[in-house]
Homo-oligomer: A and B are copies of this chain.
């Protein structure tokens, strides 16, 4: 899992970290039970403040994607095959998706363009998660 972070982007670093972890879970690079590096290790790797890594991990924990133990460090606590989504998450996610889809539509992408992109992206996920 090679992760890159752009400290000059408009996206906060802690969120970039969160996003990369989420993507790694989606692609199957990280699975339920996979351990993550310690906050300090990750921080020195990227040359960023370890508070920033902490914040990213905390975000993931609140989104039920990470379990954090003082002893064993951070461990992925769910992935695509851990069970169905929570209804309240689906509602929230649908709202955010609506905005994103609206933007694509307004800027000139057709319904089929959009669905094709989604399908293409989704095809890159779960390549390793075809275990029932």
Contacts and interface: CB of A to CB of B under 8 A. Distances in A.
B8 A69 contact: yes
Interface in A1-59: 7-8, 12, 19, 22-23, 25-27
Contacts of A114: 118, 122
Contacts of A99: 19, 22-23
The A interface, classified by DSSP as helix, strand, loop or mixed, is: helix
A107 B119 contact: no
Contact of A101 (B8, B113, B118): B118
A86 interface: yes
A63 interface: yes
Nearest to A48: B71
A31 to B, nearest CB: 11
Interface in A62-95: 62-65, 67-71, 75, 78-80, 82-86, 89-90, 93-94
Contacts of A107: 63-65, 78, 85-86, 89, 93
A74 B93 CA distance: 27
Which A-B residue pairs are the 4 nearest by beta carbons? A26-B102, A85-B108, A26-B105, A25-B106
